[in-house]
Amino acid sequence: MLLHSRSGASTSRRLLSSAATAGQRHSVRTLTQASRTQHAQPQHQQQRQEQQQQLARSRLQTPSSSRTTWPASAASARRAFATTPRRRQPTRKTETKPYLLADVGEGITECEVVKWFIKAGETVQEFDPICEVQSDKASVEITSRYAGVVTKLMYGEGDVARVGTPLCEIEVESEVEDDVGAAAPSQGSTPPEAESGQLKGEAQQPTNDSQVGEKKVELEGFIATPPSQKRDKGEILATPAVRRVSREHNIDLADVQGTGRDGRITKEDVLRFIENPSPASSKGPAPSAAPSSSSASAPSAPASETQVEDLSPVRRAMFRAMTSTLAVPHFAYSDEVDVTALESIRQQLSDVIPAKYRKTLPAASAGTDVERVADEARFDKLTLLPLLLKALSLALDEHPLFRSTLSLPADAAGMDAKAVSSAAKLHRRASHDISIALSSRVGLLTPCLPGVDRQSVFDIAASVTRLQTLSASRSGLSPSDLRATGTVTLSNIGTVGGTYTHPLIPPTGQLAIGAMGRSRHQPRFASDVPGYKKGSLSPEEEDRIVKRLIMPVSFTGDHRVLEGVELARFVGRWKQLVERPDLWFGLLK
């Protein structure tokens, strides 16, 4: 029993001794780890600082276009993803396209390049003006159909370009489908050098938002600063839609401040100008008036000294057109037309012009929803010209030969008369297309009024007013107004003065042209009044002198096709319809 107690006590002492030893060992390990942590902490902080400094140096040395750093696992995933096929994506491919000179008018085969608005190597956008060409009819501004880089100009200023030949060459971009998955390894995987750099902790340089903001503000300031100097017509950059809006509001684009690229005028600029119509020159400091080239290059010449100057583009075109008329044998026919009755009808119609055609609405139509014609086509006074055009259309119904145009072979100049006559063709039209001669800012123009037979007198008056308004403005007539040609031209020289003239037929294939002089009141016998029936007046009344409004007219026909009697009969029927407007009631459809 005693022995057992001693052995138990000995065992207890051994257990206590072991526990104490274990506790000491645990304390020693705890102290050792704490000591190691205390010794390792400064070393860890030093390594961390070195890594941060190395990362900062790499950011300074790494260009902004470097790759994004991927972790090792992300780089592996990126390589795996690059080997999988992807969808086909479009890539850019450039090709050079020739810009052909389109048909700018019926019967026009060549044009003179007056001015280039672009140079080789410059970038153009769609609808940007390329050049200005001068045909036998008018000056036309050619706009681009492509967006790209101009690589070559085929003609110089003053050269003559034929319709259908290239004016210039433009390099454009087109999209081609490519398989991205079949790309080269450099496109689908990360190079080993880049991966090793990424594993070392290199990162892409972050975007500096402040720098981007500064560049954006600087760019916006550049775009929003337009030139303050007023430009001439050739320097105005605007799309056809913008020009149409300006014409509808009768606005000179040279007075509008452009805020687009290179001073381009946008639709918003025009609308802003309508709300606040201030000239463009007032938005910036007024430039000093530049002297003309003649006055700047040399002092003013004495009055006795002869000055030599070149023909303007419009006069050169007129020179070519009128020279070509020398090959046409003209037959002239003149007469007098009594327009007293027609003038009375004109006055009556002027009092009943429908509201849709008026510039100013009458009080009865104010506040009502009235369908109106364009601003440039409105009028408050009816002239004789629309009535004369309508009478000419009625005469064309009975003389269809004058609804024809003559076409000759292209090499007619080098052929004899027999060969030319065998190849000549007459193109007879169903519609009554009549041209009118206008004296515009750029020269003589002959725009066409198509389908006069389908228009009322007020419709014809609106069309004439529109052409007259646009021809007098800086924007001018559109190419569509000048592209078509009539079979007969009517010119009103009475606005200038004079009685008879000898008009020349335009080289567009038409067969006749007429000109009206100034109408004057002249004495006539009562028996000479249009519509007089013999025996309706007594001999004393027949010899009575009355005041009549007389208009002299002169017509010219192409004697290669027309007989003299055919022209005389046609003019005679037109004269009868003008003098007797009551006959229209049986002819109008």
Q: Nearest Cα to 452, choosing from 418, 487, 416? A: 487
**Is the model's pLDDT at 48 over the cut of 50?**
yes
CB 287 within 8 A of CB 229: yes
Choose the most confident range, by mean pLDDT, from 119-123, 212-216, 254-258, 438-442: 119-123
Rounded CA-CA distance 203/186 in Å is 19
Least confident of 52-61, 139-148, 166-175, 551-560: 52-61
Judge if 233-282 and 313-586 fold alike in CATH terms.
no
* 47 or 267, greater pLDDT: 267
- Which range is least confidently modeled, 287-291, 405-409, 454-458, 490-494? 287-291
Q: In whole numbers, what is the pLDDT of the chain averaged over residues?
A: 75
Q: Which residue has the higher pLDDT, 181 or 567?
A: 567
Q: Are the C-beta atoms of 284 and 228 separated by less than 8 Å?
A: yes
Helix axis angle, 384-398 to 564-579, nearest 10°: 130
- Strands 488-492, 512-516: pairing kind: parallel
Residue 143 neighbours by CB distance under 10 Å: 19
- CA angle centred on 21, ends 18 and 24, rounded to 5°: 150
Residue type for position 93: K
Write out the two tokens for 391: 């009478």
Helix, strand or coil for residue 236?
Answer: coil
Residue 289 Cα distances to 17, 29, 157, angstroms: 114, 97, 27
Q: Report d(CA 383, CA 278) in Å as an integer.
A: 34
For 537, the enclosing helix (H) or strand (E) is none
* Element housing 296 (H / E): helix 293-297
Of the pLDDT bands very low, low, confident and very high (cuts 50, 70, 90), residue 223 is: very low
Average pLDDT of span 511-517:
95
Integer Cα distance of 465 and 470 in angstroms: 9
Instruction: Name the CATH architecture for the domain at 233-282.
Output: Irregular (4.10)
Kindly state the average pLDDT of the residues 126-130.
86
Does residue 415 contact residue 409 with C-beta atoms inside 8 Å? yes
The torsion region of residue 164 among left (phi > 0), alpha (psi -120 to 50) and beta comes to left
CB 122 within 8 A of CB 79: no
Q: Which residues contact 347 (CB under 8 A, 6 or more apart)?
A: none
Integer Cα distance of 298 and 252 in angstroms: 32
Sign of CA dihedral 411, 412, 413, 419: positive
Distance CA 241, CA 231 (A): 19
**pLDDT higher at 294 or 377:** 377
What pLDDT, on a 0 to 100 scale, did the predictor assign at position 453? 95
- Eight-class DSSP state of 115: E
- Categorize the per-residue pLDDT at 175 as very low, low, confident or very high, splitting at 50, 70 and 90: low
Q: Does residue 272 carry a pLDDT above 50?
A: yes
Q: Distance between CA atoms of 431 and 453, rounded to whole angstroms?
A: 7
For 17, residues 6+ apart whose C-beta sits below 8 A from its C-beta are: none
Q: Are 116 and 131 in contact (CB under 8 A)?
A: yes
Which residue shows structure tokens 């509808």? Answer: 248
Q: What are the DSSP calls for 487-502, one per residue?
A: SEEEEEGGGT--S---
Q: What amino acid is encoded at 315 in this protein?
A: R
Q: Where are the domains of the chain?
A: 86-201, 233-282, 313-586
- Kindly state the percentage of the chain with pLDDT values over 70: 66
Kindly report which listed range (11-15, 142-146, 488-492, 548-552) carries the lowest average pLDDT score. Answer: 11-15
**Gap between the Cα atoms of 521 and 272, Å rounded:** 50
Reply yes or no on whether the pLDDT at 3 is more than 80.
no
User: Rounded mean pLDDT of 505-534?
Assistant: 91
Q: CATH number for the 313-586 domain, one of 3.30.559.10, 3.30.450.20, 3.90.1170.50, 1.10.940.10?
A: 3.30.559.10
Residue 10 CB: number of other CB atoms within 10 A? 10
Distance CA 212, CA 6 (A): 91
Query: What CATH code would you report for 86-201?
Result: 2.40.50.100
For residue 178, list its beta bridge partners.
89
**525 alpha-carbon distance from chain centroid:** 57
Radius of gyration of the chain (CA): 44
Phi, psi at 405, each rounded to 5°? -125, 150
Name the pTM for this structure: 0.54
CB 517 within 8 A of CB 501: yes
Residue 466's pLDDT band, with cuts at 50, 70 and 90, is very high
Give the H or E element holding residue 432: none
**What is the H or E stretch that residue 538 is in?**
none
